[in-house]
A and B are shown apart, each in its own frame.
Chain A
């Protein structure tokens, strides 16, 4: 599978692109514009935004597990300040922060 090179490393702070493109994507709105930390580089997968339209999904995209502090996602979060949310995001949605 042709792929793009991984742009980020474990421990890097990344900001999710605040973008609202048309079509299919796997980046929920609630994390866009938010900053988290790469905790795992999961691997390379065909681009779901291409697969959704019957294309081959190439080049493949690096998928990262990104951890957010809940208090960074929700200003009214009432749980422990240590609580987190992990979500898997593709590299073309992440910018260095």
Chain B
């Protein structure tokens, strides 16, 4: 995404000069040749109109690009700091803000459940595909499927096994159907090499799958 400066005057110039090696012919269409130009033009106009700020636009785009979900940073902080974990479970919005990933007041309330040696949590929304967009971004396609939504409440251990996650019989499985006003996330168990691993390495392992509870993070195993 190109930087923009908020001047509508610059829109036309930016579109004409953005790709000096791809001269525009009379026949060429903006969609076919330079989709980035169209995106840039829309962004410039939306920001210039005052609908949203450039920072808000950037955050909204980031949430639609596959990458590390904001909630991963919250989970990493929870792994590193048990006191923070306690605050996260008791006051999720306060803790997310403390971690630098506030849930906007306009977004639905969130709640966290922490996996423990005796309990494994898994989240589903049977009625639609409720999830916390500010903390998770766009959910994986499987989360929205009828199969996941119907089967996770009915046979969670079988669904988890299909994700490669076998939950021992002595571990209680708690399914959370997030079909009302709250959005739920799981704090997965930390991997065995937590203490010796870098933040960047760990963040890469805290996937959307682990935050919905269908997979352990790489490096964790039931003892």
Q: Please report A residues at the B interface, Cβ cutoff 8 Å.
A: 26, 28, 30, 42, 45, 48, 63, 70, 73-74, 77-80, 82-90
A42–B109 alpha-carbon span in the complex (Å): 10
B36 on interface, CB distance cutoff 8 Å: no
| Residues in B neighbouring A63, C-beta threshold 8 A | 180-182
Quick check: B177 and A28 within 8 Å, CB to CB? yes
In the bound complex, do residue B172 and residue A28 qualify as a contact, i.e. CB atoms below 8 Å apart?
Answer: no
Residues in chain A near residue B182, CB distance under 8 A: 42, 63, 88
- Interface of A, secondary structure class, is mixed
Question: Are A79 and B181 closer than 8 Å at their CB atoms?
Answer: no
Closest to A64 in B: B180
Q: Is the CB of A80 within 8 A of B169?
A: yes
B180 touches A85 (CB 8 A): no
Minimum CB–CB distance from A40 to chain B (whole Å) comes to 9
Is B59 located at the chain interface by the 8 A CB criterion? no
> Does B186 make an interface contact (CB < 8 A)?
no
Distance in angstroms from A61 CB to nearest chain B CB is 10
Chain A residue nearest to B149 (CB atoms) is: A28
Q: How far is the CB of A3 from chain B (nearest CB, A)?
A: 14
The answer to the question of B34 belonging to the interface, with a C-beta cut-off of 8 Å to chain A, is no
Asked if A86 and B177 sit within 8 Å, CB to CB, the answer is yes
**Are B172 and A90 within 8 A (Cβ)?**
no
Partner of A48 from B171, B172, B174, B181 at Cβ < 8 Å: B181
CB of A37, distance to nearest CB on chain B (Å): 13
A sample of 5 more A-B contacts (CB under 8 A), given A77-B154, A80-B172, A87-B176, is A30-B126, A63-B182, A80-B171, A83-B157, A87-B180
Interface assignment of B46: CB less than 8 Å from any CB of chain A: no
B4 within 8 A of A: no
Given contacts A78-B155, A78-B157, A79-B157, contact A88 B172 (CB under 8 A): no
Interface string of B148-160 (1 = CB under 8 A from A): 0000011111100
* Contact A26-B180, Cβ < 8 Å, known A80-B172, A86-B175: yes
- Is A79 within 8 A of B156, CB to CB? yes
| B127 contacts A by Cβ under 8 Å | yes
Contact status A88-B175, CB under 8 Å? no
- Interchain CB contact under 8 A, A26 and B173: no
Interface CB pairs A-B, < 8 A, 5: A42-B181, A45-B181, A83-B172, A85-B176, A88-B181
Chain A contacts of B156 at CB under 8 A?
70, 79, 83
Chain B contacts with A in 167-223, Cβ cutoff 8 A = 169-182
Distance in angstroms between the alpha carbons of A17 and B23 in the assembled complex: 67
